[in-house]
Amino acid sequence: MKNVILTITTIACIITASVVLTSWSGNENMKHQAGAPAGRCGDPANNFNDCTNACHSDNSSIQVGGWITANIPETGYTADSTYTIFAYCLNTSSFKSGFQVSPQNSHGTMMGKLINLSDSTQLDSAYGCWYINHTTIGCMSTTSSKTWTFQWKAPHTGDSVTFYGAFCASDNSNTDQGDNIYLSTLTVTNAAYAGISEISKEPAI
C-alpha cells in the first residue's frame, strides 16, 4: 500500500513539474518582465537584432521617433560630462511596458558610461557593450505611457554617438504573442566637432 501511495505521489509531482516548466519555457513575456537579454535594442554591436529576433517574433518592429530624449544641448555633448536620458514608451494595450537602450557608435563600440538611477532600471553587458533595461518594478505603470530616467557620462574622446533603443508595449497576456516592439534612436555629436544633430526635447506621443 505504501509503495502505491509513493508511486502516485511521485507521478503527481512529475506531472506538476512538467506543466510548470512547459508553461514557463514558452512564456517569454513573463521571463523577460525583469529585463530583456542584452543586445536586443537594434544596436550594431549585436547585428541590429531586437526583441522580434528572439521572443516577440509574431510582429515586425516599428520605427518611431522621439522616444529617446536627453538634456544634452543642441550644440552637442561635452566630453566627460554627465547628462540625463529619458526613454519613453506609449502603450495603448496595457499598463506594462519594457525597454532597452545602449549608446554606441556606428561600428557597435560602446560610447560613454551608463549610470543607473533607480530600482526601475538595471545594467547588463554583452557583445562588449553595456545596456540599460527595465526591471520587474520598472515595467509597470499607472497610465498608458511610461518614462524611464537614467544618466550617461559622455566619452572622453569620440564624435557621433547613437542611443539605440527598443521598446515593448505589452498586451499583458503573459505570452510572447500580441506585443508591439518599437525601435527609436537618438544621435548626438561632440560639441567640439561640426555638424550637430538635432535633439528632440519632448517625447513624441
pLDDT tens-digit readout, 92-116: 888 889 999 999 999 999 999 999 9
- For residue 197, the model assigns a pLDDT of 45
Return per-residue pLDDT of the chain as tens, 205 residues: 545 444 444 444 433 333 332 222 333 334 456 778 899 999 999 999 987 766 665 567 899 999 999 999 999 999 999 999 999 999 988 888 999 999 999 999 999 999 999 999 999 999 999 999 999 999 888 888 999 999 999 999 999 999 999 998 877 666 665 578 899 999 999 999 855 444 444 454 4
Helix, strand, coil: what percent of the chain each, to 5?
Answer: 20, 35, 45
Q: How many CB atoms lie within 10 A of CB 49?
A: 18
C-alpha cell at 36: 530583456
Cα 122 from Cα 1, distance rounded (Å): 54
- For residue 139, the model assigns a pLDDT of 87
From 111, 135, 113, select the one nearest 122 (Cα to Cα): 135
Cα 198 from Cα 195, distance rounded (Å): 10
**82-90 and 68-70 beta bridge pairing:** antiparallel
6 phi, psi to nearest 5 deg: -60, -40
- What's the first-to-final CA gap in the chain, in angstroms? 67
- For residue 110, the model assigns a pLDDT of 98
Cα 17 from Cα 10, distance rounded (Å): 11
